[in-house]
């Protein structure tokens, strides 16, 4: 860390600079004790924090790390959510990073430990905890697995790095650092609960087999973009695994919960008055039968993952009025040529780009066109209008 970064005039410059950082790089730093690369790093961090980390953005004296560390850390929205999942007296984050998760864990635990083996990142996190008024966190620059060797905690939390020294970006748990699969028993011997954050790209079925003692899986999305999978692992777990999906929107958090692996009798129906499109978290879960049963909906087709009903239901996803059901034939597409519409496909033989080009449909407007397949295996276009905002 460069202490000159925290000087009042430098902080004022970082927060007030609204220009192009590329032009600033050529111009050079106006501060003799602050290299231009470090100054730009702080400007970029301050800007990125505005939406992702508002507490950091609005607090004085915050020191930002490299932009990659900011991109990889949790948002405050997802950090608050994961902190609500666990409780106890002590928690350790063995892959502490920038410390966003630890900041929120600190309000749920008496003592929290932040272990980070990168010396600069560890120092930045420690400084920021003090700047944010968090005083029940102990920071240590140490390999997390070594740091917990001779201790026990109520909860161990880890967000394994998904970049391997030789393999580059990886998607299998065993290739992440630390390797939670190989160290699973070691970790569970030192805690009552292991909370694990993984990439949304991780295969859920494979991870259940790898982690052996999964109690709950949480799929977390923000504005319909799946950000992370959270795994609650306990050695003494019994019974079925519970799955929770949460999609944070501007209006509310859309929650849905069901057991993993349930079997459901589905009703396949022709399009009715309303159309329902599950949010991205539910799509990742694959629990399409549970959704139909819970909300009393008919499914359009085994593979379409769209639902319908005659009465309006409160639903964790987007809801549409079905204005017209149109058989997908050339003669029926003429009214849509050279018009605007929001186009989506579900279980359809053509993709969105080819359909837009083929029928000259521009993007935008209030009309939604769902190209899909119905219960009779017929290709149809559902002309819709969104219900609500």
Residue-wise pLDDT for 5-45, tens only, equals: 999 999 999 999 988 999 999 988 999 999 999 999 999 99
The first and second tokens of residue 141, run together, are 């620059």
pLDDT at 245: 96
Same domain, 337 and 234: no
Same domain, 95 and 34: no
Q: Is residue 264 part of a domain?
A: no
What does the mean pLDDT of the chain come to? 92
The first and second tokens of residue 233, run together, are 């692992």
Given 206, 227, 259, which residue is the final one in a domain? 259
Q: Is residue 265 part of a domain?
A: no
- Cis before 145? omega within 30: no
pLDDT digits (tens, 9 = 90+) for 84-96: 999 999 999 999 9
Q: Is residue 268 part of a domain?
A: no
Residues 6+ apart with CB under 8 A from 268: 298, 299, 300, 301, 302, 375
Confidence of residue 172 (pLDDT cuts 50, 70, 90): confident
The first and second tokens of residue 285, run together, are 């879960």
Same domain, 12 and 138: no
Give the total residue count for the chain.
389
**Domain total in the chain:** 3
Same domain, 254 and 281: no
Same domain, 58 and 175: no
Q: Is residue 267 part of a domain?
A: no
Inform me whether the pLDDT recorded for 389 exceeds 70. no
pLDDT at 161: 85
Same domain, 84 and 228: yes
Confidence of residue 386 (pLDDT cuts 50, 70, 90): very high
pLDDT at 284: 94
DSSP state of 358: H
Domain span at 28:
3-64
Question: What is the C-alpha separation between 38 and 75, in angstroms, rounded?
Answer: 23
Same domain, 92 and 228: yes
Q: What is the dihedral of CA 77, 82, 85, 89, to 10 degrees?
A: -110
Inform me whether the pLDDT recorded for 375 exceeds 70. yes
pLDDT at 265: 77
Q: Is residue 25 part of a domain?
A: yes
Given 64, 87, 116, which residue is the final one in a domain? 64
Q: Is residue 317 part of a domain?
A: yes
Same domain, 113 and 182: yes
Angle at which helix 8-16 crosses helix 36-52, to 10 degrees, equals 60
- H or E element, residue 39: helix 36-52
Confidence of residue 168 (pLDDT cuts 50, 70, 90): low
pLDDT at 169: 61
Inform me whether the pLDDT recorded for 162 exceeds 80. no
Same domain, 83 and 55: no
Q: What is the pTM of this model?
A: 0.90
Q: Is residue 9 part of a domain?
A: yes
Same domain, 43 and 100: no
Same domain, 255 and 288: no
Given 259, 291, 308, which residue is the final one in a domain? 259
Q: Is residue 169 part of a domain?
A: yes
Strand partners, 277: 318
Same domain, 80 and 167: yes
Task: Supply the CATH number for residue 194's domain.
Answer: 3.40.50.150
Place of tokens 């590329």: 22
Question: What is the C-alpha separation between 342 and 266, in angstroms, rounded?
Answer: 29
């Amino acid at each position: 860390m460069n202490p000159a970064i925290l000087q009042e005039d430098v902080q004022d410059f970082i927060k007030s600079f609204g220009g192009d950082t590329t032009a600033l790089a050529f111009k050079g730093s106006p501060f003799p004790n602050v290299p231009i690369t470090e100054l730009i790093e702080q400007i970029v961090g301050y800007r990125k924090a505005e939406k992702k980390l508002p507490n950091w953005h609005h607090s004085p004296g915050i020191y930002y790390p490299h932009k990659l560390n900011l991109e990889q850390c949790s948002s405050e929205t997802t950090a608050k959510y994961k902190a609500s999942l666990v409780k106890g007296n002590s928690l350790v984050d063995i892959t502490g990073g920038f410390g966003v998760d630890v900041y929120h864990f600190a309000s749920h635990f008496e003592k929290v430990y932040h272990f980070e083996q990168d010396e600069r990142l560890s120092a930045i996190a420690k400084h920021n905890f003090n700047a944010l008024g968090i005083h029940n966190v102990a920071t240590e620059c140490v390999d997390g697995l070594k740091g917990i060797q001779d201790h026990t905690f109520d909860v161990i939390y880890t967000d394994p790095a998904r970049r391997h020294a030789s393999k580059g970006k990886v998607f299998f748990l065993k290739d992440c650092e630390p390797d939670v699969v190989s160290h699973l028993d070691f970790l569970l011997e030192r805690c009552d609960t292991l909370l694990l954050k993984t990439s949304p790209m991780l295969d859920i079925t494979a991870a259940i087999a790898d982690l052996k003692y999964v109690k709950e899986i949480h799929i977390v999305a923000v504005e319909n973009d799946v950000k992370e999978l959270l795994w609650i692992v306990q050695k003494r777990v019994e019974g079925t695994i519970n799955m929770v999906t949460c999609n944070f929107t501007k209006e509310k958090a859309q929650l849905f919960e069901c057991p993993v692996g349930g079997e459901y009798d589905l009703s396949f129906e022709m399009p009715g008055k309303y159309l329902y499109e599950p949010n991205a978290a539910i799509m990742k879960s694959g629990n399409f039968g549970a959704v139909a049963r819970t909300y009393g909906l008919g499914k359009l087709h085994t593979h379409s993952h769209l639902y319908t009903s005659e009465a309006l239901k409160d639903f964790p996803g987007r809801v549409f009025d079905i204005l017209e059901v149109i058989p997908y034939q050339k003669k029926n597409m003429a009214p849509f040529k050279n018009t605007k519409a929001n186009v989506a496909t579900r279980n359809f033989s053509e993709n969105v780009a080819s359909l837009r080009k083929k029928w000259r449909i521009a993007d935008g407007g209030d009309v939604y066109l769902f190209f899909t397949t119905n219960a009779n295996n017929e290709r149809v276009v559902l002309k819709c209008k969104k219900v609500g905002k």
